[in-house]
Amino acid sequence: MSVRVEREGAITLVTVERPERLNALDTATLRALLAAVQELATEEAIAVVVLTGAGDRAFIAGADISEMVEKSPAEALAFAELGHAVCRAIEEAPQPYIAAVNGYALGGGCEIALACDIRLASERAVFAQPEVTLGIPPGWGGSQRLPRVVPPGIARELLYTGRRVDAQEALRIGLVNAVYPADQLLERARELANRIAANGPLAVRLTKAAVRFGLEQGLEAGLTYERQVFAYAFTTEDQREGMRAFLEKRRPAFRGR
Ligand SMILES: C/C=C/C(=O)SCCNC(=O)CCNC(=O)[C@H](O)C(C)(C)COP(=O)(O)OP(=O)(O)OC[C@H]1O[C@@H](n2cnc3c(N)ncnc32)[C@H](O)[C@@H]1OP(=O)(O)O
C-alpha cells in the first residue's frame, strides 16, 4: 500500500509510504493519494487531515525521476495534470490539511506541502524546488504556490537556483509555521489538528473556503464571499450552540450542523 489512511476520531493521518524511494511519487502513488484525498473530502466526521511521509528520512523526495526520465511531452503533461489534481484536491478539500514534513520535501514533495493549509517541520526537514537542476521547471504548482507562501523574491531565488532550505530557514521565510524535534513532530501536528477540530467544524470549513476564495479571487470578491458564509453560519445549530455556550460559561458541544 503506497498511501496509508488512519482515522483517529475527528483527525486523520495520511502517510505516503514508499520509503525505499524516499516516498517519491510515481503515477500509482499519486493516484492513491488523490483517491485518499477525494474520499476524505466526502467524510463529514473528519475535521482535519495530517499528511506525512513514511520513515524518518523523507516527507516526499519529489516526483519519481526514474518514471519521468523517458516521458514524452504528452505523458509529461498528463503527469503534471495528475500532480495538479492532487494539489488542487488538497487545497479544495473541505478540511484543513497540515503537512508534517519529517525530512526531504523536494520538488513535487515541496509542492504537495505548499498545497496544504499549514506546514510543520522536523529539525531534519529540507525543502527545495530542484527541478531546474534536472532541466525542467516545476510541474505541480511550485512556480505558482511558492511565491504565494514566501516573499516573491525569495521564491524566485529558490525556484531559479534549486537551493535547499533547512528547517530553520524555512521557518524564517515563512515556509513553515513551526519546527520541532523529529520525535515530537507527529505529536505536535496531532495537537494542532485537535485544537482545530475542537472548534465548530462547519465554521472551520467555511473559513478554509473563504481564505482560499479570497486569495485566489482578490480582496473584494473575498469580502463578498466572507459576508455570505458569515450569514450562512447563522442558519446552523453550531452558531447558536457556540454563542450560547459562551454566554452560559460552558464548553460548546458542536455537532457540525
Ligand atoms: C513535477 C515534479 C517534479 C519533481 O519532483 S522533480 C524531482 C525532485 N526531487 C529531487 O530532485 C530529489 C532527488 N533525490 C535526491 O536528490 C536524493 O535522493 C536525496 C537528496 C533526497 C537523498 O539522497 P541520499 O540520502 O543519498 O539517498 P539516495 O540513495 O539518493 O535515495 C534513496 C533511494 O531513493 C531513490 N530516490 C530518491 N529520490 C527519488 C526521486 N525523486 N525519484 C526516484 N527515486 C528517488 C534513490 O534513487 C535511491 O534509490 P536506490 O537505492 O535504488 O538508488
Distance CA 125, CA 45 (A): 31
126 lines ligand 1 (CB under 6 A): no
Angle at which helices 108-115 and 73-92 pack, to 10 degrees? 30
Per-residue cell: 191: 495537537
SS3 67: helix
DSSP-assigned beta bridge partners for residue 48 = 11
Pocket-testing residue among 22, 81, 84, ligand 1, by greatest number of atoms within 8 A of Cβ? 22
3-class secondary-structure state, position 46: coil
Whether 77 is in the pocket of ligand 1, judged by its Cβ within 6 Å, is no
Domain limits, the chain = 3-197, 201-247
Active-site residue, from 44, 67, 91, 111: 111
The hierarchical CATH code for the domain 3-197 is 3.90.226.10
Q: What is the pLDDT of residue 149?
A: 98
For ligand 1, atom 46, the nearest C-alpha belongs to: 21
pLDDT tens digits, 185-197? 999 999 999 999 9
Looking at ligand 1, which residue's alpha carbon is closest to its atom 49?
A: 21
Q: Which atom of ligand 1 is nearest to the CA of 79?
A: 1
* Contact assessment for residue 134 and residue 65, using Cβ atoms and an 8 Å cutoff: yes
With residue 206 as reference, give the H or E element that holds it.
helix 201-217
CB within 8 A of 143, min separation 6: which ones?
Answer: 137, 159
Helix/strand/coil for 15: strand
pLDDT at position 1: 67
Q: Give me the CATH code for the 201-247 domain, please.
A: 1.10.12.10
Write the residue with the smallest CA distance to atom 15 of ligand 1: 61
CA atoms of 177 and 195, how far apart (whole Å): 15
Total Cβ atoms within 10 A of residue 80 = 17
Q: Is residue 91 annotated as a catalytic residue, yes or no?
A: no
Give the per-residue pLDDT at 212: 98
Known active-site residue 248:
no
**Separation between Cα atoms, residue 98 and residue 105, nearest integer Å:** 14
Res 220 pLDDT > 80? yes
pLDDT attached to residue 165? 98
The cell numbers describing 143, all together, are 512556480
Interval 50-89: pLDDT, tens: 999 999 999 999 999 999 999 999 999 999 999 999 999 9
The residue contributing the CA closest to ligand 1 atom 19 is: 61
pLDDT of 145-181, one tens digit each? Answer: 999 999 999 999 999 999 999 999 999 999 999 999 9
